Amino acid sequence: MASAAIDELRKQGGGFVIERYTVPGIKDLAAGARILFDRGCDLVLALGMVGRQPVDKDCALAADFGLQAVQANVGRHILGVMVHEEEASDEVQLAHLFDRRTREHAVNAYDLLFRPDAMRARAGTGQREGFSDAGPLKVGDR
Amino acid sequence: MASAAIDELRKQGGGFVIERYTVPGIKDLAAGARILFDRGCDLVLALGMVGRQPVDKDCALAADFGLQAVQANVGRHILGVMVHEEEASDEVQLAHLFDRRTREHAVNAYDLLFRPDAMRARAGTGQREGFSDAGPLKVGDR
Amino acid sequence: MASAAIDELRKQGGGFVIERYTVPGIKDLAAGARILFDRGCDLVLALGMVGRQPVDKDCALAADFGLQAVQANVGRHILGVMVHEEEASDEVQLAHLFDRRTREHAVNAYDLLFRPDAMRARAGTGQREGFSDAGPLKVGDR
Amino acid sequence: MASAAIDELRKQGGGFVIERYTVPGIKDLAAGARILFDRGCDLVLALGMVGRQPVDKDCALAADFGLQAVQANVGRHILGVMVHEEEASDEVQLAHLFDRRTREHAVNAYDLLFRPDAMRARAGTGQREGFSDAGPLKVGDR
Amino acid sequence: MASAAIDELRKQGGGFVIERYTVPGIKDLAAGARILFDRGCDLVLALGMVGRQPVDKDCALAADFGLQAVQANVGRHILGVMVHEEEASDEVQLAHLFDRRTREHAVNAYDLLFRPDAMRARAGTGQREGFSDAGPLKVGDR
């Protein structure tokens, strides 16, 4: 997943340096993100996979909590790219999903830092990371 | 949604500047709000939509947690305007709901900053954002 | 509810000033409490009503989380007076419950600040805010 | 419960002073603990009872959250002695349970501060506070 | 469990000192970890067992919350080695699981501090702590 993120980021443009940091599991992402922020990083892409057991869902909740706490303390973005095992029916589909979602979040990361107008232009167009996009919702002028 | 908020705020009066900041999803609202506070904002309106899947509800919980953590750390208001997909039966109704709820929270935002007496006058009158209001509850003098 | 709290506090004695601050909903209580602490308040009574829908219960959980986070950060008490819509069968009973619970928490607030011995004397006597008290539990000497 | 804690602590030895602080309910324990730490306490025993209604369980979750947040902020122990109403079938059994559990946590408190070796010696021996102990689990050498 | 962790860490190499700190239960791990960080530790291995009752699962959630909060505040890793009673059918299997999982996390701890490249090399290979490993997932090149 990390290589897909790096590849996609490089496609978007330059002006950044990537620091990779690998942790054992999703519950370790918050500490890893905080460590990267303490080293001066401006944004963290947190990539992880969530299993299908109830205990895995509790792990994901704890991980999410930690990621929110770090962001609340530090005031910088952590874009969580979590893929749930049961989102795909086999490994091929899962690999596809991993790749697409990671790339879409990499674009989001780039836009947050370098192209806020592009981020705003996509807002409310109903894009779901990793599956086909739904059309934009009609809001406002009725 | 953001344009409805801006339109409604401008209807209420002046004395403020609006800074827009778009994030990829609801779990990114807390970091975005913290960033806006760090830039000197006094109040944040956080607008987002919550899907109908269980994973979306977990996202909403994580998002809420982050928004509370930022408020607890910073001591300024984040008014969350969350619309749940299943609150409306079709896109027309959903668009209506989005618009109304956003405008009502925009009025709340204005009142918190500029008209605390108006906020107090509305307290306990049973107003629900985005649907018809229920009447005020009789409290106290029985 | 706020007027019942103020009335009851004044019945208990003097030595305090009351600052009222109205927020749009229960998820805004934590920020409001933090703002009051930042203005120098020593204790906050947080009054709110929780609806009967599942989404209301999630709001209450988020609100509670925020109130705990503020207290953990600041080290001063927030006494949450939450009334759940389904605790009463009609508006008359609900109004009664609101009034009683608010007054009992107002006494708690006064005691925490001015009469810690009275607070200790009531501890373990099984008092439930807003319904009839159950008798004290026999602890220890058997 | 507090008197059982104090009695048991005094049986363990000296070298400490006890400060009692009574709060209205379990959701107020976190603020109370933080206040005691701010007054210079080294460890807090937080005693409370949890009712059998779902709303009581939500209170316990919020209380636990607050207690963890204070400990994470301050870096000192809060030993929570929570008794759930449904753990016992009548008041006599409940009183027994209260007393035993409180005393066992009081010993833990003493050991954390003065006898860390005794704490380590008991680790992994399967002791449950307030009910009969199960035997130690055989780990490792099979 | 602690001795398995120490044994495994020593097998990996040198350059570190181990400080043991025993707490009464899993809800006390966060405070213990924070205390160890305040004493200058660089990483904490938090070892604990979770019972099979619902109340034990709530404890685990509270413990996880605290561990995430400490990591978010401090920016150093706590590797939680939690074993759930129901993961094994008897004590022999449970002891085996304890031992294996503890050793695998000890290797993770060593790698995080001294061999980040080894950590990265294992990432995405689908290793589960304490049970047989599943094969690596094919990602990317399809």
Task: Decide if D77 and E4 are in contact by the 8 Å CB cutoff.
Answer: no
Confidence (pTM): 0.90
Residue B36 domain-assigned (yes or no):
yes
Q: Among the residues of chain E, which ranges form H helices?
A: 2-12, 29-38, 54-74, 91-114, 116-122
* A133 pLDDT more than 80: no
Mean per-residue pLDDT, A96-120 = 95
pLDDT digits (tens, 9 = 90+) for B107-132: 999 999 999 999 999 876 655 555 55
**Are the beta carbons of E30 and D72 closer than 8 angstroms?**
yes
Rounded to the nearest 10 degrees, the angle between the axes of helix E54-74 and helix A54-74 is 30
Rg of chain E over CA atoms, in angstroms? 16
Q: What backbone torsions phi and psi does residue B62 show, to the nearest 5 degrees?
A: -60, -40
Mean pLDDT of the region E7-14 = 96
Give B83 to chain C, closest Cα distance, Å. 11
**How far E71 CA lies from chain A's nearest CA (Å)?**
5
Binary contact (B98, A139; C-beta < 8 A):
yes
C-alpha pair distances (Å), B99 with each of B50, C28, C139, E116: 15, 21, 57, 50
pLDDT tens for each residue of chain C, 142 residues long: 789 999 999 999 999 999 999 999 999 999 999 999 999 999 999 999 999 888 888 899 999 999 999 999 999 999 999 999 988 898 899 999 999 999 999 999 999 999 999 999 987 665 555 555 444 544 333 3
CB B124 within 8 A of CB B137: yes
Q: Please compute, for residue B67, the number of CA atoms within 13 A of its CA located in the half-sphere on the CB side.
A: 30
Domain count, chain D: 1
In the complex, which subunits touch A with 3 or more CB pairs below 8 angstroms?
B, E
For residue D52 the two structure tokens come to 């059998």
Evaluate whether residue B29 is within a structural domain.
Answer: yes
Of E79, E124, E140, the CB nearest to A28: E79
* Residues of chain A contacting B95 with CB distance shorter than 8 Å: 137-140, 142
Locate C11 and state its tokens. 């019945």
Give all chains having 3 or more CB-to-CB distances under 8 Å with chain E: A, D
**Whether pLDDT at B100 is above 70:** yes
Would you say D66 and C61 are in contact if contact means Cβ atoms under 8 Å apart? Answer: no
Would you call D140 and E24 a contact, using CB atoms and an 8 Å cutoff?
no
Can you read off the two tokens belonging to residue B9?
């705020």
**Distance of CA D97 to CAs A6, C142, D22, D93, Å?**
57, 12, 21, 6
Identify the residue whose tokens are 């978010």: E72
E23 and E32 in contact (C-beta within 8 Å)?
A: yes
> Across the interface, which of A69, A80, A120 has its CB nearest the CB of B69?
A69
Half-sphere exposure for D55 (CA within 13 Å, toward CB): 12
Q: For residues B73 and C40, what is the distance between their CA atoms, to the nearest angstrom?
A: 16
Of C80, C123, C139, the CB nearest to D99: C139
Tokens 């609101």 label which residue? C98
Q: Is the pLDDT of residue D136 over 60?
A: no
Band (pLDDT 50/70/90 cuts) for residue A124 is low
Task: Report the SS3 class of residue C77.
Answer: strand
Inter-chain contact B123–C58, Cβ cutoff 8 Å?
no
Query: Would you state the structure tokens that stand for residue B51, as one six-digit string?
Result: 């899907």
Kindly report the nearest CA distance between residue D55 and chain C, in angstroms: 9
Q: Tell me what pLDDT residue C138 has.
A: 43
Question: For all residues of chain A together, what is the average pLDDT?
Answer: 88
Q: Which of E25, B94, A23, E13 is nearest to D82 (CA)?
A: E25
For chain D, say whether E43 makes contact (Cβ under 8 Å): no
Distance from CA of E132 to the nearest CA of D (A): 18
Contact at CB, C73 and B72, closer than 8 angstroms: yes
ipTM comes to 0.88
- In this prediction, residue E132 has a pLDDT band, given cuts at 50, 70 and 90, of low
Q: What residue numbers bound the domain in which C25 lies?
A: 2-122
Distances (CA, A) of A56 to A94, B40, C22, C128: 17, 39, 41, 38
D chain contacts of residue E91, beta-carbon cutoff 8 Å: 137-138
- Check CB contact under 8 Å for B120 and C20: yes
Q: Which residues of A121-135 are buried (b: 16+ CB within 10 A; e: fewer)?
A: eebbeebebbeeeee
Number of CB atoms found within 10 A of residue A113's CB: 16
Neighbours of chain B (3+ CB pairs under 8 A): A, C
Q: Where does B13-136 have alpha helices with state H? A: 29-38, 54-74, 91-114, 116-122
Say yes or no: B46 contacts chain A, CB-CB below 8 A: no
Q: Do D66 and C112 touch, CB atoms closer than 8 A? A: no
Which amino acid is located at B24 in the chain?
A: P
Map tokens 């994030």 to a residue. B23
> How many C-beta atoms lie closer than 10 Å to residue B31's C-beta?
26
Residue-averaged pLDDT of chain E: 88
Mean pLDDT of A78-97: 91
The interface residues of chain E toward chain A in range 54-73, judged by CB-CB distance below 8 A, are 57, 60-61, 64-65, 67-69, 71-73
CB of C120 within 8 Å of a chain D CB? The answer is yes
Dist CA D66 CA D116 (whole Å):
26
- Confirm whether C105 is domain-assigned: yes
What is the band of A74 on the pLDDT scale with cuts at 50, 70, 90?
very high
Crossing angle of helices D54-74 and C54-74, in 10° steps, is 30
Query: A70, A37 in Cβ contact below 8 A?
Result: yes
Task: Give the mean model confidence (pLDDT) for residues B55-83.
Answer: 95
| Residue A142 clears pLDDT 50, i.e. is over it | no
* Residue B11 belongs to a domain: yes
Q: Output the furthest CA–CA distance in chain D (Å, rounded).
A: 51
- Answer whether A98 sits within 8 Å of E60, measured CB to CB: no
Asked whether E83 and E97 are in contact (CB, 8 A), the reply is yes
Residue A127 is assigned to a structural domain of this protein: no
CB B114 within 8 A of CB B14: no
Domain assignment present for residue E55? The answer is yes
Residue C142 within a domain? no
Q: What is the per-residue pLDDT for D55?
A: 83
Using the Cβ of C46 and the Cβ atoms of chain D, whether some distance falls under 8 Å is answered with no
Nearest to C124 among D1, D62, D69 (CB): D1
DSSP per-residue codes, D6-66? HHHHHHH--S--------SSGGGHHHHHHHHHHTT-SEEEEEEEE-SSHHHHHHHHHHHHH
CB contact E142 to A (< 8 Å): yes
- Using alpha carbons only, give the angle D104, D109, D115 rounded to the nearest 5 degrees: 105
What's the DSSP call for residue C13?
Answer: -
Residue A62 has its nearest CB partner, among E68, E84, E138, at E68
Shortest CA gap E11–chain D (Å): 17
Residue E77: CATH number of its domain: 3.40.50.960
Give, for B86, the enclosing helix (H) or strand (E).
none
State how far Cα D1 lies from the chain centre.
11
B68 to C58: CB separation less than 8 angstroms, yes or no: no
Confidence class of residue A1 from pLDDT cuts 50, 70 and 90?
confident
Tens of pLDDT, residues E103-127: 999 999 999 999 999 999 987 665 5
Nearest by CB to residue E72, choosing from A55, A66, A96, is: A66
- Min distance A71 CA to chain B CA atoms (Å): 5
Map E84-98 to HEC letters: EHHHCCCHHHHHHHH
Residue E128 placed within a domain: no
Q: Which of E1, E22, E24 minimises the CB distance to D139?
A: E1
Residue pairs between chains A and B whose CB atoms are closer than 8 Å? 88
Phi, psi of E58, deg, nearest 5: -65, -40
pLDDT surpasses 80 at B136: no
For chain A, how big is the Rg over CA atoms in Å? 16
Closest-CA distance of chain B to residue A1, Å: 19
